[in-house]
Structure 1
Amino acid sequence: MEERNQSRLSEFILLGLSDQPEQERILFLLFLFMYLISGLGNLLIILAITSDPRLHTPMYFFLSNLSLVDICFTSTTIPKMLNNYISKNRMISYCGCLAQVFFFIWFTGMDILLLTIMAYDRYVAICTPLHYNMVMTPKVCALLVGVSWFWICNNALTHTMLLNRLSFCGHNEIPQFFCDLSRLLKMACSDTFINDLIINTAGALTTFFPFIGILISYFHIFMAVLKISSVSGKKKAFSTCGSHLTVVCLFYGTIMGVYFSPTSTHTAQQDTAATVMYTVVTPMLNPFIYSLRNKDMKGALRMLITRKLGFSL
């Protein structure tokens, strides 16, 4: 036990994206801007949906939850990185690192499941429109979201507890701007077989199978849309799915580029760029993707800004 305690690090060093002072100042301003835009945009989406009765539908209920998750998601990593740039101190405590791993896994998993639920919602709306109100009842929607929050929380807690049992010795530098689970496992000096086994199992349950579910949903959606005779009907059906499909491609494309492609096919710089895409850029773009392509959302946002903030548009 004494040897184990001596091998446990009390803190890690987050190397970040650059060690050049000039680049750090630029990165600080850039990430601060993206963080503020992401938080404000997603907050406006939530306020617009809750304040407009016309948007009290399953699709917008799931979208408001996605916006909430994106706010929490970016808040898990960016504030710490910004603080490191200001304080010139790249240290993060062991407990702080575990907390970051827990919340990062939790909110990443919630993003994935919410995108899957939203794909199923669009499938029911387009493929079985007459049964939509009977299938997607408020109780069912709340149950889908509630179970997702609980399940992913348990998944994140499992990974964090398994990580906590490992011993870390030698260097304590993490070549990333946050505590990434995969990087931490490579730094461990004890056996990570159970961790890797759970990651592969949970990865299939929380990432691969939901992705297959999204693909199946959109296959049936496209088949149903092709059967629509009118051009306007096809355009309307595709418009309801376009925003969601764009977000799915951005989010899943970058995650698969980082975690599911052979390490020999990409460099550390490509990994970092892809990580920034799905942890920072995608949550920032989501409000724009969903609002700019949606007339109801644009109307609700215009009404919110006009009535609540006192501006006239």
Structure 2
Amino acid sequence: MGILNASFSQNISIVHPEYFLISGLSGIPFSNYYYIFLFFIYINAVIGNSLVLLIIALDRSLHSPKYIGVFNLALADIGETNALIPNMMKTFLFDSQYISYNACLANMFFVYFFNTIQCVSLVVLAFDRFIAICLPLRYHAIVNNAVMCSVFSVFWMLSAFLVAFTVSLITRLSFCKSNEIQSYFCDHGPLYRMACNDNSISSFMAKLNTAVYFAAPLTIFLSYLCICFALSKITTWEGRIKALKTCVSHLLLVGVCFIPIICTYIAAVMLSLSPNVRIISTSLAYAVPPMLNPIIYVLNTAEVKNFIQTVIKKKSASIAHSVSD
């Protein structure tokens, strides 16, 4: 607390640049092909997650605690995709790597906010599976739509506060040397390290946010240890497989969202990756999961597939009836 007060009480002249230069993708060979791939990811992520939102909204049988979590995950995926990829595409379409100071802070907030909600959604879905398998008789007493909505409301507010506070600390930093950000978006880490004045509070918040981020897969791992213990008590293999099948989609989502980021982080620390490799790996680790998440749920969730098949059958019957008339 003393560090916080000391830093805030310093009487210094704050220099805010008019704009920042996002230079992370400028030195990558054949970057045009990468931008085309990003555009493909963007279109599929937006369409796929929009369909998931529409299906859950229209099908009353999906108005359950589990699908409230899936709904929030799809919202977070759309938000993160729109916060991240269009700014990257701007460089390709308009040959502009510049972003204004305020737009940079807004970009930073929305990327980190929706990424946090994505992690929260996966943790809450893990909690849902934990209660369903470990405490099946008490599931409906513990988990219901009202509880799920309340949990997500609290997490949305806490996430917004944490990210907003982290971003607001950037306004207390002075940038008198360089305005070039070595990343593919207005990344907090490269930005606060460019500051001329004391950035210790921003550094602390960066470490805190990293700890919170990596606490998510750890929490999910611990929940699945408990699930495995509960499954071991089921006497028949058929019962174990049936219970485990309800977790497949969630496990795939967790793997898609966390494994690439964790592997990239470990490789960057242990193998000293070149800047180009690190930026490509990290950008893909953030951009690809929102595209894959709706595909995973459509292909692995019987309720969603049944709804799609019902809609297709009704549409086919309607077309056939129109033709016969």
2:82 aligned with 1:75: yes
Cα pair distance change 1:46/1:304, threshold 3 Å: farther
Superposition map of 1:1-313 within 5 A: 4-5=13-14, 7-19=15-27, 23-204=30-211, 206-259=212-265, 263-267=269-273, 268-304=275-311
Change (3 A) 1:219 1:46: same
The answer (yes or no) to whether the contact 1:45–1:301 under 8 Å persists in 2 is: no
Check whether the contact 2:188–2:206 (CA below 8 A) recurs between aligned residues: no
**Counterpart-to-counterpart distance in 2, 1:17 and 1:306:** 46
Unpaired runs of 5+ residues, structure 1, are: none
Aligned-residue Cα RMSD (Å) equals 2.5
Q: Which moved more, 1:206-215 or 1:62-71?
A: 206-215
Q: Is the 8 A contact 1:115 1:248 kept in 2?
A: yes
What's the CA shift string for 1:244-276, capped at 9, x where partnerless? 112212222233345566635231244223312
Alignment partners' CA distance in 2, 1:26 and 1:152: 35
Q: C-alpha offsets along residues 29-67 of structure 1, whole Å, 9 cap, x if unaligned?
A: 211111000011111111111111221111111001100
Counterpart residue type for residue 9 of structure 1: P
Does the Cα contact within 8 Å between 1:100 and 1:179 map onto a contact in 2? yes
Say whether the 8 Å CA contact 2:80–2:114 is kept in structure 1: yes
Moved more, 268-277 or 299-308: 299-308
Is the deviation greater in 85-94 or in 271-280? 271-280
TM-score by length of 1: 0.90
If the length of structure 2 is used for normalisation, what is the TM-score? Answer: 0.87
Q: 1:219-262: CA deviations, max 9, x gaps?
A: 11111112222333222222211221122122222333455666
1:260–1:154: structure 2 CA closer, same or farther, 3 Å change rule?
A: farther
How big is each residue's C-alpha offset from its partner over 1:56-93, in whole Å with a ceiling of 9 and x where there is no partner? 11111100110011000010011111122111111011
Deviates more, 1:298-307 or 1:218-227: 298-307
* Residue identity in the other structure for 1:13: L
Alignment check: 8 A CA contact 1:66 1:114 kept? yes
| Cα deviation digits, residues 113-149 of structure 1 (max 9, x gap) | 1111110000001111111111012211011100010
Return closer, same or farther for 1:288/1:249 CA change in 2, 3 Å cut-off.
same
State the AA in 2 paired with 1:302.
Q
Q: Tell me the alpha carbon deviations over residues 141-177 of structure 1, each in whole angstroms, 9 at most, x when there is no partner.
A: 0111000100000011101111111011222222222
Contact 1:292 1:298 in 2 (8 A): yes
Q: Contact (CA 8 Å) 1:77, 1:178: kept in 2 or not?
A: yes
Contact 1:119/1:217 (<8 A) preserved: yes
Secondary structure in structure 1 of the residue aligned to 2:21:
strand
Q: Structure 1 counterpart of 2:272, which letter?
A: H
Say how many residue pairs are matched. Answer: 309
> Which letter maps to 1:122?
R
Is residue 42–residue 71 contact of structure 1 (8 Å, CA) maintained in 2?
yes
Tell whether the 8 Å contact from 2:24 to 2:183 is kept in structure 1 after alignment: yes
